[in-house]
Amino acid sequence: MTLKTQTKIAVPLLLASALMAGCTTSSPLTSPNGRPGFTVNCSGGGGGRWSACYEEASNLCPNGYVVIDRVGDTDAMVSEIDGDLNLQTMVSRELMIECR
């Protein structure tokens, strides 16, 4: 296997690993009702699954929470490496919650 072929295989695998290695983050907010809450971002983390957002919400609000808003989007990105086209999916997920 030539170095060029190895590179064609390794680069997409590294990009996929980097995208899936994202983490769930959160930041505090005050809900419209004046109660404490959080914005939870789970884009890419766990493959960008909503379950990662809900798990983090449960950790942040052990007495339960109410979902204020849920925003998600999936975009495709096409790149070219040595004449080969590569399609990558970019996932963004954000959950806004109010703690009980």
Q: pLDDT tens, 18-56?
A: 444 457 899 999 998 899 999 999 887 556 688 889 999
pLDDT tier, 74 (very low <50, low <70, confident <90, very high otherwise): confident
Whole-structure pTM value:
0.64
Residue for token pair 């979902």: 67
Q: What is the mean pLDDT of the chain?
A: 79
Residue for token pair 């884009």: 43
In 10 A of CB 93, how many CB atoms?
Answer: 22
Q: Which amino acid is at 18?
A: A
Structure tokens at 22: 């994202």
Q: Which residues contact 42 (CB under 8 A, 6 or more apart)?
A: 24, 48, 49, 50, 52, 53, 56, 93, 94, 95
pLDDT tier, 85 (very low <50, low <70, confident <90, very high otherwise): confident
Residue (of 62, 44, 53) closest to 96 by Cα position: 53
